[in-house]
Structure 1
Amino acid sequence: MQNMDFTIAVIEDDPIQLENLQTALKGQGFSVVSYADRVSAEKGFNQSLPDLVISDIILGTEMDGGFDLAKHLLTFERPIPIIFLSERQSEFDIYTGHALGAIDYLPKPISLNVMIAKVKNLLRITGSTASNPTQPQSASKIEGLHLADNQFKAYWNDKPLDLTATEYEMLRQFALSGQKTVVTYDTLQESTQGVVERNTINTHICRIRNAFKKVDQDFNLIHNEYGRGYSWQNKN
């Protein structure tokens, strides 16, 4: 798929920053829609969903406007990846962003070239699969875990898991590796084509575990292997 095939929504209340983001993205051939506040963005999404959302956290008078927008995105059947771009860099804010399904949480100010590279990597993941709707399911080596690559959906004992596209790709590494095999930090990071930073892998794994616990409260099969990565096994 070409860049022009993707629509990116940018939500930013600072008009200068909004214009800079629009110019950078349009310069790469992306279709861009922009909003200055959460309410107008939600109205726009109810009419037509973008392929990717880039949003600030503080939107006008709403200190958590971006977080509330992410909650709204979770109500749609089709998962919409979101990148937060914010001056708020506390551990709690970063955790909250990822807990709400963010693919990435980037600091302000940021190099537009770096941001564009991350956007392209992310859309390469989601776009390559979406462009091949006949792609078969991944062969899972884990009993009870089934993957549908063409939809970025995973099922545990036939129950759907609430995962972002990035978390799906990370979970897929466990399915392909099988039980008792260490999936290294490098493998998990490479599976997202650099979208996920090394220091946020633990947060994504936590979200993956929580997704399993929502459908299986006794789930306890993903374990940290100190200094190496994670493994899927029953250690009880």
Structure 2
Amino acid sequence: MHNTDYRIAVIEDDPIQLETLVLALQQQGFVVEAFNNRISAEQRFAQSLPNLVISDIILGAEMDGGFDLAKHLLSYNQPIPIIFLSERQSEFDIYTGHALGAIDYLPKPISLNVLMVKVKNLLRITASPKPKVDENRSKIINLTLANEKFKAYWHQKPLDLTATEFEMLKQFANAGEGSVVSYDSLQASTQGVVERNTINTHICRIRNAFKKLPLTLT
């Protein structure tokens, strides 16, 4: 197993503990994404899911923030293993964590050595390396993407799109025909530039870009 093949998301509201966890994982060669709150983690997950999530239960003002994060992950078709780290060690909390999909529930203060061993074992057993995705590849027939140029082509004809509209179209292209793309995913794809209440306007502009092209059947 090559640790660099795996991406781990760490969610911890204490900055010192977060830095310690991230550094320990990076020293083992893992690719790590750090978050100090649930919302930012969920926004990132809408773009790309990690191979493993390590999360505290209490996240800022959210007493059950880690549990809520786990519930959110259950909405994806792809199972993501979770390790909870918490000072809360009641039987109910441990049961709840496992019921929400946690593979392990470790007490704080944690042993970094034990955590690293568990992470490696869990990834070896439950995860397979995520294949490298060709970002220029589209699952929609006759739609081609040129990611580095923020350009999209329909039947080899260029679509008149802004960079923001291109990023939104890419979400549909990566999902494929007949798939549902959530508003949250579309908003996250633009790094929050697009407000939720204006997404439909941008979608209309994307549709119009297709309509402006002459239909050529080959």
Q: TM-score, normalised by structure 1?
A: 0.54
User: One-letter code of the match for 2:36?
Assistant: A
CA–CA distance in 2 between the matches of 1:90 and 1:127? Answer: 29
Partner of 2:41: 41
For residues 195-229 of structure 1, give each alpha carbon's deviation from its aligned partner in whole angstroms, at most 9, with x where no partner exists: xxxxxxxxxxxxxxxxxxxxxxxxxxxxxxxxxxx
Could you say if the C-alpha distance between residues 14 and 129 of structure 1 is closer, same or farther in structure 2, counting changes exceeding 3 Å?
Answer: closer
**Structure 1: distance between partners of 2:130 and 2:38:** 27
Paired with 1:129 and 1:6, the residues of 2 have a C-alpha distance of 6
User: What are the within-5 Å matches in structure 2 for residues 76-115 of structure 1?
Assistant: 76-115=76-115
| 1:59-208 matches, cutoff 5 A | 59-127=59-127
The one-letter amino acid paired with 1:92 is F
CA distance in 1 between counterparts of 2:128 and 2:7 reads 15
Q: Which amino acid aligns with 1:2?
A: H
Q: Distance in 2 between matches of 1:128 and 1:119?
A: 13
CA 1:31–1:130: 2 relative to 1, 3 Å: closer
Unaligned runs of 5+ in 1: 132-236
Partner AA of 1:105 in structure 2: Y
Amino acid at match of 1:91: E
**Cα distance between partner residues in 2 of 1:79 and 1:127:** 9
Question: Whose Rg is larger?
Answer: 2
Residue 19 of structure 1 and its aligned partner are, at CA, apart by 0.2
Distance 2:42 2:49 in 1: 10
Match of 2:164 in 1: none
User: Which moves more between the two structures, 103-112 or 121-130?
Assistant: 121-130
What is aligned with 2:31? Answer: 31
Matched, 1:50 2:59: no
Structure 2 CA distance for partners of 1:128 and 1:62, relative to 1, 3 Å: closer
The aligned runs of 1:207-226 (5 Å cut-off) are none
Matched with 2:22 is 22
1:128/1:68 CA distance change after superposition, 3 Å = closer
Structure 2 residue matching 1:103: 3-state secondary structure: strand
The Cα of 1:126 is off from its aligned counterpart by 2.1
Report the 3-state secondary structure (helix = DSSP H, G, I; strand = E; otherwise coil) of the residue aligned with 1:41: helix
Q: Secondary structure at the match of 1:9?
A: strand
Decide whether aligned partners of structure 1 residues 128 and 78 sit closer, same or farther in structure 2, where only a CA change above 3 A counts: closer
The unaligned stretches of length 5 or more in structure 2 are 132-218
CA contact (8 A) 2:9 2:50 kept: yes
Deviation at 1:127, TM superposition (A): 3.5
Paired with 1:130 and 1:55, the residues of 2 have a C-alpha distance of 21
Change in Cα spacing, 1:7 to 1:63, as seen in structure 2 (3 Å) is same
- Give the letter aligned to residue 21 of structure 1: L
Number of aligned positions between the proteins: 131
Give the TM-score of the pair, scaled to structure 2. Answer: 0.58
Moved over 3 A (4+): 127-131
Q: CA deviation at 1:110?
A: 1.1
DSSP 3-state at the match of 2:102: coil
Distance 2:95 2:21 in 1: 24
Give the residue type in structure 1 aligned to 2:65.
G
